[in-house]
Structure 1
Amino acid sequence: MNIRPTLATASALSVSALAAVTLLGAAPAHATEYSSALKIRGVQYDAPGTDSNRCSGGNTTQEYVTLKNYSRTATINLKGYLVKDAAGNSFRFTASHSLQPGDYVKLRGGNGTDSDANNVVYRDNCNFMWNNSGDTIYVYKPSGPGSDSHKYTKSGNDRDGNGYISFHS
């Protein structure tokens, strides 16, 4: 949504108010803060070692996104939630996986055994999902609206160069 004040409106606004209106109109889509309790806690977008997406002996299981329930009271069932990247690669939680308040799950690449006790779900896909140079992570509720999204770049967000970026503490 672009907000373009008319000349009459602009003259009635202070310079700082006009700047605020201009900034609001120019806010990037990835800056949207959703009211959902399910948020992206962080992403290991660059798996340690040399990237190898082989199902046997590769390191795709070392790439993951962590989703956390930031609610203080509500349990969230992940069944039906969708996680996507900017290119449209996606994973939908098809089984029930309940996150108690404050709980988290690591959605890992590769193959493995999903475990509530170990807070892990595998995508059962040996291709890397998150681009090492930068990407956008989207999480959608089962009903379709956004739950959380974050855009990152290696140079802009990974200050220590370890391949992991935190979004919500």
Structure 2
Amino acid sequence: MRIRSVLATAATAVTAGTLAVVVAAPAQAAEYSSSLKIKGVQYDAPGRDSNNCRTGNSKSEYVTIKNYSRTATVNLKGYVVRDTTTTNKFTFRSNHYLEPGDYVMLRGGHGTDSDAKNVVYRQNCNFIWNNDKDTVYLYKPTGAHADTHAYTKSRDDRDGNGYISFHG
């Protein structure tokens, strides 16, 4: 077991007169280095897909981003959401503050952003998420990785409703 070998090495170093500090972290700890996480994605909008801005259903396709911090408020300005291709991306250009435990739904289509309704629109009627499989990426304003989730319809959407939850 890796942790035991690290602890044994640390114990040997301490008994040899060397001060050692060991911090054991679970393998998934890197995933939680950001307080903002992708909570879920409605990758397949209900109904027949139509990206017609007036009558289509691209507003029903969305990704939910949640602030999992217990204390920090996070401003979404500068955060980037994208899929596997680099051309399908959205950058939050305005201030949008998420209090601890709060979330925002980034929807397709045109609409009015609302802090009160926890919604931001991409102002684009084209669908971003593939209906069979894709990857959702979230990047910090610095360009650093915040969260990523890949999905496949057959593996991850057991009830077939087009929605997949990632962080509960």
Asked if TM exceeds 0.5, the reply is yes
Question: Where does residue 34 of structure 2 map in the other structure?
Answer: 36
Give aligned-pair identity as a percent.
69
- The Cα shift of 1:33 comes to 1.4
CA RMSD, Structure 1 to Structure 2 (Å) = 1.3
Question: Where does residue 60 of structure 1 map in the other structure?
Answer: 58
Q: Distance in 2 between matches of 1:145 and 1:167?
A: 20
- Which SS does the other structure have where 1:79 is aligned? coil
- Which SS does the other structure have where 2:31 is aligned? coil
Deviations 1:85-140 (A, max 9, x none): 00121000000000000000000000000000000000000000000001000000
Deviations 1:33-92 (A, max 9, x none): 141010000000000000000000000000000000000000000000000100121000
The residue type paired with residue 90 of structure 1 is: K
Query: Which consecutive residues of structure 1, in runs of 5 or more, have no partner in the other structure?
Result: 1-15, 18-31
TM-score (norm 1): 0.81
Deviations 1:5-39 (A, max 9, x none): xxxxxxxxxxx77xxxxxxxxxxxxxx61410100
Question: Where does residue 158 of structure 1 map in the other structure?
Answer: 157
Query: Which consecutive residues of structure 2, in runs of 5 or more, have no partner in the other structure?
Result: 3-29
Q: Distance in 2 between matches of 1:101 and 1:47?
A: 28
Question: Where does residue 72 of structure 1 map in the other structure?
Answer: 70
Counterparts in 2 of 1:16-165, with a 5 A limit? Answer: 33-88=31-86, 89-165=88-164
Deviations 1:129-168 (A, max 9, x none): 0000010000000011100000000001000000000000
Over 4 Å off, 4+ runs: none
Contact persistence 1:34–1:146 (CA under 8 A): no
The residue type paired with residue 145 of structure 1 is: A
Aligned length: 141
Q: Distance in 1 between matches of 2:31 and 2:70?
A: 18
- Which SS does the other structure have where 1:33 is aligned? helix
Larger Rg belongs to: 2
